[in-house]
Structure 1
Amino acid sequence: MDLLKISDHMNRHPVTFTEEMSVEEAVNKLILAEQLGGPVINKDKKVIGFVSEQDCLARMLSGTYHLQQAASVKDVMRTEVLTVKSYHGIVDLAQTMLLAKPKVYPVVDDDGYLQGVISRSDVLRAIDLELHSHYKAVS
C-alpha cells in the first residue's frame, strides 16, 4: 500500500478561485462542481489560500444578518493552507487526515504551483481499491 501515490488518485481539474471573486460566485462554483472547497490561486496558478463551503456559509449568514452582500473570496479565505505533493503516499496522507481537519488538500509542485486537489473521499477510494485488489489476488 506504500506504493499508492497521490498523483494516481488526485483530481487534476479542481474548481479554483481568485481573491477578487465574489463569495456568491465562489458558492455557485462549489455547488456546480459538488466540491467541499478549493484552492485560491494567483494569476501564476500558485496557491495563496483556500476557501470552503463552511467559510462561504459563515460569511453568507453574517452578511444576511447584517444586510451586507458584497464580500470577496479574499475576505473569507484561509491563507494558511495544508498542501501535499503529488509524489507523497496515500497512506501518509490518510494518517495526516486523521489528525488534521481539512477534507480537501491542494496538490502542489515543489514551487507551490497547483497541480490538483485530493479529498478524503479520493483517499478512501484509493485505499478501498487497493484492499479489493488484494482480496481478489487471495481468492
Structure 2
Amino acid sequence: MTTPPFTVADVMTRKVVAVLPGAEFKEIVTAMERWKVTAVPVVEGEGRVVGVVSEADLLVKEEFHDHRLGLVEQMRHLDATAKAGSRRAEDLMTSPAVTVAPEASLPQAARLMAAHHVKRLPVVDTTGAIQGIVSRADLLKVFLRPDDDLAAEVRHDVIEQLFPLSHRKVGVRVDAGVVTLSGEVGDSALIPLAARLARAVEGVVDVRCDLSARGRTQPHPR
C-alpha cells in the first residue's frame, strides 16, 4: 500500500497566537515579541480568520512617523498612510487573509507562500475557523525524517511496485536524505521512473541511481 503524502495538518503548529479585531497596536507588538512570531492572525466569532497583521503592517507606522507627506504623495501611498494612522488590528491587518486547508499538500502550501510573498499561512477548516499555522520552517520538517524511514518507503512504494520480480536484487541506501539505488532489475525502461519516484518521496534530498539491467548501467538522471 502506497504511503499517503504528507499534508499541512501533519506539519503545522497547532498552538496559535491570534488577536481580535479590536486589539490595540501595543497589544499586537507585545504578543509578537512574547511568542517570537512575525505575524498573527486576526480572528472573530468562533475563531474565523478575517485577516493577518504582520511586522510589515506594523512598521508602516514607524516609516511615516517622522515623515510628513504632501497630498500627492499621500494619494500614492493611500493604504500605507491609512495604516500609519491606525492602532487597531482591524485597521492594520491585511485582509482577506491568505489561508490554506489542513488537507492541502506541502507543495500547495509552498506555492501559496511564494505566490503571495508570505512566510506563514493560517490553516483553516471549511468554515474558515483557524486550526493552526504553517510556516516555511514547518514545510521543511519532512527533511528531518530518519534515513531508515525513507529507505523503507522507497523500497516498499517504489522498488517493490515497479520491480515485483527483481526487487530483492535492488539495494536501497539512504544517507542524510540522499537515496542510492543499486543492483540489477529486469526492465531497463523503468529505471529512470524509479529514480523519479524515489526523488518524489517526501523528505528525500536527492537520488543516485546505480541500477542496471542486462549488464547495462543506467546513468543517474539529472
> TM-score, structure 1 length as denominator?
0.84
User: 1:65 maps to which residue?
Assistant: 66
User: 2:32 maps to which residue?
Assistant: 30
User: 1:92 maps to which residue?
Assistant: 108
Q: Higher Cα Rg: structure 1 or 2?
A: 2
Aligned-residue offset at 1:19 = 1.1
1:36 and 1:124 map into 2 onto residues whose CA distance is: 18
CA deviations 1:116-135 (Å, max 9, x no partner) are: 11111111223x12485426
Aligned-residue offset at 1:89 = 0.9
Is structure 2 residue 139 aligned with structure 1 residue 138?
no
Contiguous gaps of at least 5 residues in structure 2: 68-83, 153-171, 175-222
Aligned-residue offset at 1:32 = 1.0
Structure number with the bigger relative contact order (C-alpha 8 A, sep ≥ 6) is 1
User: 2:57 maps to which residue?
Assistant: 55
Aligned-residue offset at 1:44 = 1.7
- Is the 2:25–2:87 Cα contact (8 Å) retained in structure 1? yes
Aligned-residue offset at 1:65 = 2.9
Aligned-residue offset at 1:70 = 6.7
Code of the aligned partner of 1:27:
V
CA deviations 1:60-94 (Å, max 9, x no partner) are: 443x437x987111221011211101111112212
SS in 1 for 2:6: coil
Question: Cα 1:120–1:12, aligned 2, differ >3 Å: closer, same or farther?
Answer: same
The total of aligned residue pairs comes to: 137
SS in 1 for 2:56: helix
Question: Cα 1:86–1:70, aligned 2, differ >3 Å: closer, same or farther?
Answer: closer
* From 89, 94, 107, the counterpart of 2:123: 107
Is structure 2 residue 11 aligned with structure 1 residue 9?
yes
1:52 and 1:135 map into 2 onto residues whose CA distance is: 40
CA deviations 1:12-65 (Å, max 9, x no partner) are: 111101111111110110111111102100032101111001111212443x43
* From 26, 46, 58, the counterpart of 1:44: 46
Code of the aligned partner of 1:138:
R
- Is the 1:59–1:76 Cα contact (8 Å) retained in structure 2? no
Moved over 3 A (4+): 130-133
1:13 and 1:45 map into 2 onto residues whose CA distance is: 13
1:16 and 1:60 map into 2 onto residues whose CA distance is: 22
Contiguous gaps of at least 5 residues in structure 1: none
SS in 2 for 1:97: helix
